Structure 1
């Protein structure tokens, strides 16, 4: 059932993003006066479809092949000799190829802009509804435990972060995101030497930041958050065992647990296994079998030293600022990621996720905030992917339009055929490789 819930969320998210993308093309084409013959979510390959209806001369429908969507405009190629008989009588002024380059460029870019607009609307709405959690523990409770890359950068266990890039005002949604991973990052820290507190600025090189983006932020640092348990479900009827009140968890299924972050990671790694907690209580080490509750959670309460947060409600103006910043940061992160893949700094199999791994990003139960955050993130990614200068992506068509603008000549039918075939072949091979890596990751 959990897999079904993830798949349903994935399909709903993809359907929304594709529909919005094609709606951008459709609205722009209609505004410019181009006749749109078909508007489809998914592909009606071989003429098979799940649903269709006609409205104002356009056929709207849902295809059976869930790999995207499309609109079909009349006259996409100037010398198309094989157009259907019903399209012959469409006036030249309503044909795509008859429009000037700048208008065709608007039509092709409208889908990308709509994806970015969708992300902006979602992020603004989330900030407006949920507000933001401002971190108030910098320099006191926010103590870090550096990973391998953090040690290379010069961090030490027990360092207290007071600012990141000279900004002491941070929010929870920024703390462990790649927003901080743009290279030339400077951490302002306080380090204890005996009874002295030394203030330092640690400059982290772009090279290390690139490795962090590849290997994950926990390889740079994690939040040092010791915690105690109040009680644990140690029997099948889930009655609480309070004999271990205030015990310290030191291992889960034999794997060392040093921080709360470690504990959460170990829980995910042992999702389908029995859980044995190793704890220290009254100076003695014990191992107990912990049972999950009906929601799959471990039953205990925390006495933690996590950074404290101050909930902040924000108004519409502030949500627009925060949402715009979030979209821009997401664009920067995705652009940097694509650049690293092209340069060979990040492997394709690690940098590009296919449908299986993307579906796995969604929760096994519906979480509104997580769902919409992922849709906004993926919508931004879809817009940027479509900017790539490859047919049949929008970026490929816009590249040819740019060439037409420079030369004053329209691309011939033979050129379009070769361009589309080469681009389509590359996209199919790349998609197959990504899907192969998806399947391999779950086997």
Structure 2
């Protein structure tokens, strides 16, 4: 069921983005009286799931969910209709129109993607606002939960002040900031320390197969007992909050974990807090200094009431949501550009994390959430817009480059050159697509 929900959200988001992107080409083409022969969601190699002709245009749904297209008359595109291009240009064809009109038609899809992405972020903030844990609220520092954090030079209790000179607003964004960054500044025991992020950090993060290596320090709350625990009858209960280990006060789980290792195979006391009040309980530790319990969690309101963290919750009027959503869209775009730069730098190993349809589908939640759906769709829209701007033949960016060249030099590339460029670009895209999806398959088996 979870896979079905993820797949449904992915297909809905993908379909919406494709239709609106292609509509961005379709509308200006119609305004400039250019004939549009086909408007398709997905590709229709050999046959279509659905098709219907209205006016000069056939509207349809293909069976290959790798994208979509509009077939514009007199343009070398995915259809590779060389027969049409061998005939004399007609007034209603793309190639017969002025360069500035052709440029607008080619940029239409990208413009729609950016407007859509920024617009969705604005509406998300207006509808739901935002709630997050401010990095500044983590007053006692981070909890290093993986050796990768230690390799970065981090220690539990460090306060992360800046990454690449920028203050971090939300704690949840720290991992992505480390991925995009080059250096960071921490405060440790009152001292300010600057460290460099290793160039191969992303590669190591991918190999670990984990999304995080640090998190906020959390209280020691009993979640339940493991099957082999000898402390089931000790008096400990689920949701107990540990206040002290053998008389030593503790605030966080990491402090308790370190203390417990000193009492391996011993009987010790735990001071706990529960609804009825505080209580001292004797427990037996195993040879690893473990109690035999699962770690539990506290609701956000309890964390705030007990003085651990204060969440930031903000509601926006529509007027306030416009600049805030625009800033969020801009941050998404710049972060994505930083990630692409690292992907194209072999030293970072970021190319190992390049993913295809499985990776994209997996970022959707396993339970239906409109807020998450629209947030991911906004990100994908901005990503799609930027990717289509890359100067690769077969992408909108490639056509834009050739059109700008024509406008600057006054010389139009030949149809034969454009045909070969389209084939080359299509080959490059297929190689990238195969590589990304092969990465997905490898990660799936791992």
Q: Quick check: TM above 0.5?
A: yes
Q: Does 1:203 pair with 2:194?
A: yes
Report how far residue 222 of structure 1 moved. Answer: 2.7
Q: Within 5 A, what are the aligned runs for 1:4-403?
A: 4-46=4-46, 48-76=47-75, 82-83=83-84, 92-133=90-131, 135=133, 138=136, 141-146=139-144, 155-161=154-160, 170-171=169-170, 175-176=173-174, 178-179=176-177, 182-183=180-181, 187=185, 189=187, 191-192=188-189, 198=190, 200-205=191-196, 207-208=197-198, 211=201, 215=205, 221-229=214-222, 243-246=237-240, 282-285=282-285, 301=298, 304=303, 307-347=309-349, 349-403=351-405
Classify 1:80/1:170 alpha carbon distance in 2 versus 1 (closer, same or farther; 3 Å): closer
Report how far residue 186 of structure 1 moved. Answer: 5.1
What residue ranges of structure 1 are gaps of 5+ in the alignment? Answer: 193-197, 235-240, 249-256, 263-279, 291-297
Q: Does 1:419 pair with 2:421?
A: yes
Instruction: Provide the aligned length of Structure 1 versus Structure 2.
Output: 393
Instruction: Write the distance in 2 (CA, Å) between the matches of 1:42 and 1:259.
Output: 51
Instruction: Write the distance in 1 (CA, Å) between the matches of 2:369 and 2:175.
Output: 19
Classify 1:13/1:346 alpha carbon distance in 2 versus 1 (closer, same or farther; 3 Å): farther
CA contact (8 A) 2:356 2:437 kept: yes
CA contact (8 A) 1:149 1:208 kept: no
Instruction: Write the distance in 2 (CA, Å) between the matches of 1:186 and 1:158.
Output: 15
TM-score by length of 2: 0.75
CA contact (8 A) 1:38 1:73 kept: yes
Instruction: Write the distance in 2 (CA, Å) between the matches of 1:103 and 1:323.
Output: 31
Report how far residue 365 of structure 1 moved. Answer: 1.6
CA contact (8 A) 2:393 2:399 kept: yes
Instruction: Write the distance in 2 (CA, Å) between the matches of 1:92 and 1:83.
Output: 10
Instruction: Write the distance in 2 (CA, Å) between the matches of 1:431 and 1:367.
Output: 29
Q: Compare 303-312 and 368-377 and name the one that shifted more.
A: 303-312
TM-score by length of 1: 0.75
Report how far residue 341 of structure 1 moved. Answer: 2.0
CA contact (8 A) 2:175 2:211 kept: no
Describe the superposition over 1:55-80 as per-residue Cα deviations: whole angstroms up to 9, x where unpaired.
34322111111110000111115997
Instruction: Write the distance in 2 (CA, Å) between the matches of 1:136 and 1:390.
Output: 40
Instruction: Write the distance in 1 (CA, Å) between the matches of 2:179 and 2:192.
Output: 17
CA contact (8 A) 2:141 2:160 kept: yes
Report how far residue 133 of structure 1 moved. Answer: 2.8
Describe the superposition over 1:371-405 as per-residue Cα deviations: whole angstroms up to 9, x where unpaired.
22111112211112112222311112222223323
